[in-house]
Structure 1
Amino acid sequence: MNKERLINEFIELVQIDSETMNEQQIGPVIVNKMKSLGMEVTLDHSQSKTGYGFDNVYGILKGNDSSKKTVFFTTHMDTVTPGNGIKPIINNDYIETDNTTILGADDKAGIAACFESIRHIQEQDIKHGDIEFVITVGEESGLVGAKAFDESLIKADFGYAVDGMGPIGTMVVQAPTQSKIKINIQGKKAHAGMAPEEGISAIEVASLAVSNMPLGRINENTTANIGTFIAEGPTNIVSDSVEIIAEARSLIDEEMSDQVNKMKEAVKVACDQYNTTYTFEHEVMYPSFKYTEQDEVVSIAKNATERIGLEANIIKAGGGSDGNVFSGKGKPTIILSVGYEDIHTTDEKMSIDRLVQVTEQISSIIEGM
């Protein structure tokens, strides 16, 4: 592996603007790089569905050993904001920014590591099966690219999302499903000073509903939260409308559904008490997944990590990723740590040692298939 080349490519990638929904500059660069590595590249034409800046990119490097299994890796090309005009700085063992923008190691460190791992196995003539890559758009704005991707392009039985936090060797084998909830509670207007008893305060109704909802940490698997509570109007008018935006998450699908139903029941009871109406909409944003060390997708990554002298740290997570989406599409996918730090902030940084380690880990997975 060429450490200097890896660093230079990472620095090159983070300097290409690609805030989520605006991947039009980095997309063609990724395509050209994949082709230069000898991959067959396919654009999935999802841009017409998503409205994002580019298509998802699929690439396959054909194997040189038919006894080796096919594997896929997925990363994303978009970043959060502020992600334009990034100026990376090497500071001892870290690559940082000038603190006016993010760095974009999430997930361009993953992309750079994947590309360098391919160069490594080619230069060392390492035997491998087919290696597939899916580089998505819109991960940072709701896993949009992964949701739009046609999973029939992927031939591998399982794969790895190279997009996690923590020391290299950390792998997420369980992650929750999430439901987004939108509630609108209707009241009745009246003059707040002259005839308040003729009105129904939507704020009172909504407050009662929220107070009766189980929220926060429900149990070891499940959480729920109110993110937005909106009621606007003058103080002399009884409020006739409240909008609530909430979420429920759980490692267990059934528990998430049960939590959503409890929140809906709290709204119904409150509205019935005040003799008013409501709407309650919810949408599952991504499915959960759960694997164990007995599953091949986990055991191969664990063994590969230990072969390069690192400890495999198998954990569960509280958030969703493209790995949830691909697992839900029938392609078991766990999350590999990239090792970035302070992501989604202007203090974001990437350890050079960790960048090297994740590249070695990916190479080891490929070799061990």
Structure 2
Amino acid sequence: MSAADKLLNYVTFDTQSDENSETTPSTEKQRKLARALVKECQALGMDEVREKDGTVYATLEANTSEPRTPIGFVAHMDTASELSGANVKARRVERYDGGVIALNEQYAMDPATFPALKKVVGDDLIVTDGTTLLGADDKAGIAIIMQALEEIIRDDAPHGRIAVAFTPDEEIGRGVDHFDLSLFPVEYAYTVDGDRIDAVDYETFNAAQATVSIQGTSIHPGDAKDRMVNAALLAVEFASMLPEDQTPAKTEGREGFYHLVSMEGECESATLTYILREHDAEKFEKQIETIERVRDTLNEKYGDRIEVAVRRQYANMKDYMKGDMRAVERARKAIEKAGLEPVSIAVRGGTDGAMLTQRGLICPNLGTGSYNHHGRFEFASVQQMDRMVRIVRDIVEGE
């Protein structure tokens, strides 16, 4: 099998996570893919294969007496909540000609709208049928790691200890909440969870989720003067008091944002859910202060009706690397060997690696050759996935 074949198999598993669940993993269906990956790792002859708290761990012990740095690779099994990941009907587009790709009668991908397509002209693509997401985020990462392991074992390529981990619940910010570092005995690792394959990224957002709960007073509208307090209107007022130029639709690069993820409300009560993102730690703290200041202003105006709960999700991994660039430099050499010019981008998102780095395991991020994640326009390049398999092999074998 190839990495593309593995991806087509993995996307048949519905592994969508659920931020409203309090279980670990957040959905039991993620364990179905976990069990399949345990069997695959065992069939390859890997060591210490197990599933714990929804995470799959496996190691491949060194096959050479030469001193080599133990390294690891991580990818997540769950898919995003923006669109269903069930009943995925993926198909191949052979030798993409650079034109519009019709997904179904309603949806099509035009390179004018989706510029990532311009990077893969001539490649074979894996696309959706327009009714679901693909799940290449991050099943392409799993496929690349598993294919690289299969080839390393097949070719008896010299290597030090390799550890792999496949995590649940990354999309809801809980991917490594229960990660057992004692089962992952490496000096540093890589998440394979990005898009472009020339990138090795080690700077992410600082991230938090803010839940704004508003309590109103519901009175019959015919007798409500000076008595009704409409929680839904307070929610609108709260949203209007945040910086209107700091939303995802109006920011790029290193610019942070307040993203209103959901808004639910009626006269009696309302809830706003925001995600806060900022690369700079000081600006990130000011975002939290702004949310709390808006709360205080409206509570003074209307009485104590608004509560804000902030849950910090992950931090900018660069701040925790403390200048240790060994993992980054090793990946850059492998990318160069593949004939590419390595780049490092300030990621407008986060990975399991951000939280692992915060816990002391440096874990920069690599690409997968898949693009347009979290929606029906997601696709993967077969050729870029193959090149990424080679890059992973060269990271392992290149020391």
* TM-score, normalization by structure 1: 0.86
Report if the CA contact (8 A) 2:41-2:49 is conserved: no
1:111 aligns with 2:142: yes
Give the unaligned 5+ runs of structure 1: 47-54, 233-238
Match of residue 134, structure 1, among 165, 172, 178: 165
Report if the CA contact (8 A) 2:231-2:270 is conserved: yes
Question: What is the Cα deviation at residue 165 of structure 1?
Answer: 1.4
Match of residue 210, structure 2, among 181, 189, 195: 181
1:198 aligns with 2:227: yes
Structure 2 residue aligned with 1:70: 70
Moved more, 178-187 or 197-206: 197-206
1:306-327 CA-to-partner distances (Å, cap 9, x unmatched) read 0121121210111122122212
Change (3 A) 1:254 1:45: same
1:264-283 alignment, distance < 5 Å: 264-283=292-311
2:9 match: secondary structure? helix
Structure number having the greater strand percentage: 1
Structure 2 residue aligned with 1:101: 132
1:346 aligns with 2:376: yes
1:53-108 CA-to-partner distances (Å, cap 9, x unmatched) read xx211010001234110000001223345333333323211223333433322222
1:223 aligns with 2:223: no
Q: Distance in 2 between matches of 1:25 and 1:276?
A: 46
1:163-312 alignment, distance < 5 Å: 163-166=193-196, 168-203=197-232, 205-217=234-246, 220-232=254-266, 239-290=267-318, 295-312=325-342
1:272-323 CA-to-partner distances (Å, cap 9, x unmatched) read 1233432221111222211598611211111111012112121011112212
Change (3 A) 1:229 1:302: same
Amino acid in structure 2 at the alignment position of 1:272: E
Structure 1 residue aligned with 2:185: 155
1:312-323 alignment, distance < 5 Å: 312-323=342-353
Amino acid in structure 2 at the alignment position of 1:119: E
1:357 aligns with 2:387: yes
Which structure has the larger Rg over C-alpha atoms? Answer: 1
Structure 2 residue aligned with 1:324: 354
1:36 aligns with 2:46: no
Q: Distance in 1 between matches of 2:261 and 2:167?
A: 27
Structure 2 residue aligned with 1:84: 86
Percent identical residues: 26
Amino acid in structure 1 at the alignment position of 2:38: V
Amino acid in structure 1 at the alignment position of 2:90: P
After superposing on structure 2, the runs of 4+ consecutive aligned residues of structure 1 that deviate more than 6 Å are: none
1:125 aligns with 2:124: no
Change (3 A) 1:178 1:215: farther
Give RMSD over aligned pairs: 2.5
1:6-17 alignment, distance < 5 Å: 6-17=3-14
Question: What is the Cα deviation at residue 162 of structure 1?
Answer: 0.5
- What is the count of residue pairs matched by the alignment? 350
Change (3 A) 1:116 1:200: closer
